[in-house]
Chains A and B, each alone.
Chain A
Amino acid sequence: MASASIMFANATRRSMFQAMRSSSSRLSSFGSARLMSTYYTPAHEYCKVDGNIATIGITDFAQAALGDIVFVDLPAPGDEFEAKDSFGSVESVKAASDVYAPVSGKVLEVNEALTDEPALVNTSAEGEAWFIKLEMTDESELGGLMGADAYKEHCEKEAH
């Protein structure tokens, strides 16, 4: 907090603008746990949002239903998707399943670890086995997704 005040005191108009930006990023780093949220789709993708970056993968519920994962097909950095577009697939011995973009955006990063170790999806679906990081183009789309509680209920219904 103290460093933010010094920055305000020394600022010209432009640097004040910069200072506000940097101070607000300091505020967000203090409050990062509050600002990161996880959203879910009915098709069992998750979407962890940090600022305007969405880290996307399939949920633990999905990996359990699919069985041993043997192959993951990922897009390339730079690829762009609209919400609900298929951006890749995840495959078991038996079948391939499309994975869909929960929100629209541009791919910043893909998880190369899944090329060599697709089974990571089974052991760490919601942790290490994220599929892509997307730079979101329309954060309002998050409003159409489920929160943790709603998703849990959705899974319970599906498992009848």
Chain B
Amino acid sequence: MNSTLLLRRTITKATTSSTNLARRAFATSSSDDDESSLVKTALYDLHKDLGGDMVPFAGYSLPVLYKSENGGVMKEHLWCRSDSKSSLFDVSHMGQIRWFGKDRIKFLERIVVGDINGLSSGSGCLSLVTNVEGGIIDDTVITKYDDYVYMVVNGATKFGDMEHFQKQMDEFGGDVTMEYLEDSMQLLALQGPGAANAVSNILPSGFDLTTMAFMTGSETTLDGIDGCRITRCGYTGEDGFEIAMPAEHAVSIASKLLEDPTVNPTGLGARDSLRLEAGLCLYGHDLNETINPVEGSLAWTMGGPTSRRRAEGGFLGAEKILKPDGKLQKVAKKRVGIMGMKAPAREHTEIYDASGETKIGEVTSGTFSPCLKKPIAMGYVDTELSKVGTEINLKIRGKMQKAEVTKMPFVESRYYRVPE
């Protein structure tokens, strides 16, 4: 990696404008966003050339879809799950951070719930950043390397996260350094059954993808460019990769990938419908600071019932989530999957019990599934009514529609498994 360490001073300077960006990212009426105040990723012009319909997201200007022959949310979504094909997403808005210092693992286990110490070199996991109440500040994919830990956080929350990390570092006091890679490094996601084939075009010869397990990563050259990274992970339920490269080479690498006719540029619209089919949460909608990992049906991020982190706790808010014996504290609501309704049920749709008389929760994400050709949703209901198969009602446009609690993912995931 050639980026110089961007230390506390840079982070502190970033916070004044950062809080504005973080707040605006949550604002739903994006019509107030001034196009000129949005950050452009390195691929902005390329997106426009490809017919990208640019919208504000997390303070950046990103394509929600492409106006092209294979574009539109529906076509882009279906392409991603098609045999031999893959979808290319610009996710450069997300926050890439590297952690250094001899106390980095100890520190990280204070701020996230996962077993970071137990990760082997090059391995990663999905984890959650918590606050002192046990509420979720962000979800993140963390990959451990020999000399540092690599972490990717959400674009809309990255500056708020880093402010939190800074405060925690001040309290912790040990040898930890946080390096925010800023927009000097861009990030692309390539997802789909054809992703491995497509990415092999830019990997060095001899890079063996057949033995690269899901949730592992390595530093690498991409299309001959040094200082890049590849992680086999994603947000669609398909096999896929997230690739990071210096900003000045992002366009050439993306263009090289797009030369392959099986690769389709894909926007935020399809990204959202794909992750929802895969049962994956979108922070700010399905997760927020008032929700803890157990409510979010994400207790697994803390490890199994007998795991070290469950027994030891040690992350912020652990005592609010775990009993002293490591068992989970009971929660009043749980995140569930929902299907069966005739009309799509969007965020904030009220959920009622089978009789239609008592409100028991709310939808936090919903869409019409392009693959299943029916509405799917994710939401929170009272714990007693969260079992799969429970009959519920959704109040859509003033009318009660029957639905039921279902398991997730809605569409089966096809994460890569290394052959035995």
Closest A residue by C-beta to B342: A71
Q: Is the C-beta of A93 less than 8 angstroms from some C-beta in chain B?
A: yes
Q: Which of B72-80, B96-104, B325-333 contacts A (4 or more CB under 8 A)?
A: B72-80
Proximity string of chain B (251-294) to chain A, C-beta cutoff 8 Å, 1 when within and 0 when not? 00000000000000000011011000000000000000000000
Closest A residue by C-beta to B64: A94
Whether A70 contacts B368 by the Cβ 8 Å rule is yes
**Complex: A73 Cα to B344 Cα, angstroms:** 10
Whether A67 contacts B65 by the Cβ 8 Å rule is yes
Question: How many of chain B's residues touch chain A, expressed as a range?
Answer: 20 to 34
Nearest-CB distance from A99 to chain B (Å)? 12
Whether B397 contacts A93 by the Cβ 8 Å rule is no
Whether B343 contacts A93 by the Cβ 8 Å rule is no
CB within 8 Å of B: which A72-110 residues:
73, 89, 91-96
**Complex: A89 Cα to B65 Cα, angstroms:** 22
**Which residues of chain A have C-beta atoms less than 8 A from B273's C-beta?**
93-94
**Complex: A73 Cα to B65 Cα, angstroms:** 24
Whether B72 contacts A71 by the Cβ 8 Å rule is no
**Which residues of chain A have C-beta atoms less than 8 A from B370's C-beta?**
70, 93
**Which residues of chain A have C-beta atoms less than 8 A from B64's C-beta?**
94
Nearest-CB distance from A66 to chain B (Å)? 10
Proximity string of chain B (56-95) to chain A, C-beta cutoff 8 Å, 1 when within and 0 when not? 0000000011000000111101000000000000000000
Whether A89 contacts B397 by the Cβ 8 Å rule is yes
**Complex: A93 Cα to B343 Cα, angstroms:** 12
Nearest-CB distance from B228 to chain A (Å)? 32
Q: Is the C-beta of A60 less than 8 angstroms from some C-beta in chain B?
A: no
Which secondary structure dominates chain A's binding surface? strand
**Complex: A89 Cα to B345 Cα, angstroms:** 12
**Which residues of chain B have C-beta atoms less than 8 A from A73's C-beta?**
343, 397
Nearest-CB distance from A93 to chain B (Å)? 4
Closest B residue by C-beta to A89: B397
**Complex: A67 Cα to B267 Cα, angstroms:** 13
CB within 8 Å of A: which B369-403 residues:
370, 373, 375, 397
Whether B73 contacts A93 by the Cβ 8 Å rule is yes
Nearest-CB distance from B56 to chain A (Å)? 15
**Complex: A96 Cα to B74 Cα, angstroms:** 15
Nearest-CB distance from A60 to chain B (Å)? 15
Q: Is the C-beta of A68 less than 8 angstroms from some C-beta in chain B?
A: yes
Whether B346 contacts A93 by the Cβ 8 Å rule is no
Q: Is the C-beta of B200 less than 8 angstroms from some C-beta in chain A?
A: no
Whether B269 contacts A94 by the Cβ 8 Å rule is yes
**Which residues of chain B have C-beta atoms less than 8 A from A92's C-beta?**
73-74, 368
Whether B73 contacts A71 by the Cβ 8 Å rule is no
Partner of A71, one of B75, B269, B270, B368: B368
Additional 9 contacts, C-beta under 8 A, given A71-B343, A93-B73: A67-B65, A67-B73, A70-B373, A71-B344, A71-B368, A89-B397, A91-B344, A92-B73, A93-B77
Query: Which residues of chain A have a CB within 8 Å of any CB of chain B?
Result: 67-68, 70-71, 73, 89, 91-96
Cross-chain pairs A/B with CB under 8 angstroms, 7 sampled: A67-B74, A70-B373, A71-B344, A73-B343, A93-B370, A94-B64, A94-B73
